């Protein structure tokens, strides 16, 4: 190969490589980055991308060069010369990819190991996934360590002082240890801005460490097809300053202790809003029946409103509204503590009474 050919190959390689680099850098491919673990994931992403661009530049420059240099006239149908092996080239194209893939493997393994690292000053949050809601439970700081496949808030003594929320609130720069479980089928926890992703499995506790680095409101997505309401199985992840977080926490502590507004809190913290519409709570879900129409439904079922509401929560398949299916609503609400269930029933009765035709 002459010097001219090498110069041209290198030139093509540089131009194509720069083009690919521009595409990689100037198009915003990734969502915002809002966690320490995300920084490491992004490093692996860019490390791999850089290698890909280098390989692309080499392959594309040879291809473009060959298309120009070895072009035959349109009426030339003859075959090219047969090609024999070239041991030198074969060694190069085996060893170089081997080294690159090994490097990607090592860099990924180190990043993932660092991302699993749990600093001592962490905070624990229990995450429960159900068709089709998220529940976030905050055990007290002094809660005893839970067994391997149990959540802190499963323990009876702890459960009473666990705070429950349908949104994931996190303080800035505090490592949070998510201990997660599904109550029915597989779900998967993902906040794109945090990058970390983890399945929730019934009967098992899976974990994830996240250290939020940016104040903001992000979306928690379920990324495991889990049934009819999979696409609406979302919640907010709200990262705020430590002071704002403490204010929020004190607020729900008060709400949990207070009696009168208790039902509304139970409605909110159990994620009812993600499946049901209820004007009084500002809920707009459409997976399940519209709760504003409870009085009419009770009438159709031939039951007094309060008894009907209670039955529909603890025994959802006893009466299924027209247009909906059995087995979609969870039966686990039967295990709500009695005071919470009473408060929820009262709240639903009170907030729909006015709207119903009776």
Contact (CB, 8 A) for 125 and 177: yes
Told to check if 235 binds ligand CUA by CB under 6 A, we report: no
Among 143, 178, 222, 344, binds ligand CUA (CB under 6 A): 222
Chain positions 145 to 204 lying near ligand CUA, rule: CB under 6 A, are 187
Indicate the residue among 129 and 289 with the shorter CB distance to ligand CUA. Answer: 129
Indicate the residue among 274 and 351 with the shorter CB distance to ligand CUA. Answer: 274
- Among residues 106, 141, 136, the alpha carbon closest in space to that of 123 is found at 141
Structural Rg of the chain based on CA atoms = 29
Lay out the site mask for ligand CUA across 100-139 (x = CB under 6 A, - = otherwise): -----------------------------x--x-------
Angle made by CA atoms 220, 221, 222, in degrees to the nearest 5:
130
DSSP secondary structure string, 74-143?
A: TT-----------HHHHHHHHHHHHHHHHHHHHHHHHHHHHHH---TT-EEEEEEEETTEEEEEE--TTP
Told to check if 230 binds ligand CUA by CB under 6 A, we report: yes
**Minimum CB–partner distance for residue 82 and ligand CUA (Å):** 55
Distance separating alpha carbons of residues 330 and 310, to the nearest angstrom: 14
> Near ligand CUA by CB under 6 A, which window of 61-69, 104-112, 219-227, 292-300?
219-227
For 14, the 3-state DSSP assignment is helix
**Minimum CB–partner distance for residue 133 and ligand CUA (Å):** 9
**Minimum CB–partner distance for residue 186 and ligand CUA (Å):** 8
> Near ligand CUA by CB under 6 A, which window of 1-9, 140-148, 221-229, 315-323?
221-229
**Minimum CB–partner distance for residue 201 and ligand CUA (Å):** 12
Quickly count: other Cβ atoms within 10 Å of residue 213's Cβ.
17
Kindly provide the b/e burial profile for residues 106-145, where b requires at least 16 CB atoms within 10 angstroms of the residue's own CB: eebeebeeebeeeeeeeebbbbbbbbbbbbbbbbeeebee
Please work out the total of residues on this chain that contact ligand CUA, with binding judged by CB under 6 A: 9
Indicate the residue among 151 and 226 with the shorter CB distance to ligand CUA. Answer: 226
Among 226, 294, 344, 345, binds ligand CUA (CB under 6 A): 226
Binding site for ligand CUA (CB under 6 A): 129, 132, 187, 222, 224-226, 230, 233
């Amino acid at each position: 190969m002459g010097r001219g050919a090498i110069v041209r190959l290198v030139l093509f390689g540089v131009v194509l490589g720069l083009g690919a680099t521009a595409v990689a850098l100037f198009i915003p491919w990734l969502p915002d980055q809002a966690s320490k673990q995300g920084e490491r994931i992004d490093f692996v992403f860019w490390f791999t991308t850089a290698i890909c661009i280098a390989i692309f530049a080499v392959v594309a420059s040879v291809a473009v060069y060959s298309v120009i240099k070895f072009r035959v006239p349109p009426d030339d149908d003859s075959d090219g010369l047969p090609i024999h092996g070239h041991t030198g080239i074969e060694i190069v194209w085996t060893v170089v990819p081997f080294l690159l893939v090994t490097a990607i493997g090592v860099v990924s393994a180190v990043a993932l190991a660092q991302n699993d690292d749990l600093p001592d000053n962490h905070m624990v949050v229990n995450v429960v996934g159900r068709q089709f809601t998220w529940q976030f439970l905050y055990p007290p700081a002094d809660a005893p360590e839970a067994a391997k496949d149990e959540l802190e808030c499963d323990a009876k003594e702890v459960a009473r002082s666990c705070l429950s929320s349908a949104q994931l609130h996190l303080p800035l720069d505090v490592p949070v240890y998510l201990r997660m479980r599904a109550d029915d089928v597989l779900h998967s926890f993902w906040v794109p801005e945090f990058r970390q992703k983890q399945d929730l499995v019934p009967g098992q506790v899976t974990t994830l460490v996240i250290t939020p680095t940016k104040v903001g409101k992000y979306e928690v997505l379920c990324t495991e097809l889990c049934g009819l309401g999979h696409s609406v199985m979302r919640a907010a992840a709200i990262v705020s300053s430590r002071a704002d977080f403490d204010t929020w926490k004190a607020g729900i502590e008060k709400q949990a202790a207070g009696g009168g507004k208790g039902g509304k809190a139970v409605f909110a913290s159990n994620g009812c809003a993600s499946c049901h519409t209820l004007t009084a709570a500002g809920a707009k879900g459409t997976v399940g029946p519209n709760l504003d129409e409870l009085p009419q439904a009770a009438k159709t079922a031939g039951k007094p409103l309060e008894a009907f509401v209670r039955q529909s929560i603890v025994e959802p398949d006893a009466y299924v509204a027209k247009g909906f299916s059995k087995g979609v609503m969870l039966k686990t609400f039967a295990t709500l503590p009695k005071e919470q269930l009473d408060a929820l029933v009262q709240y639903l009765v009170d907030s729909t009474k006015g709207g119903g035709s009776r």
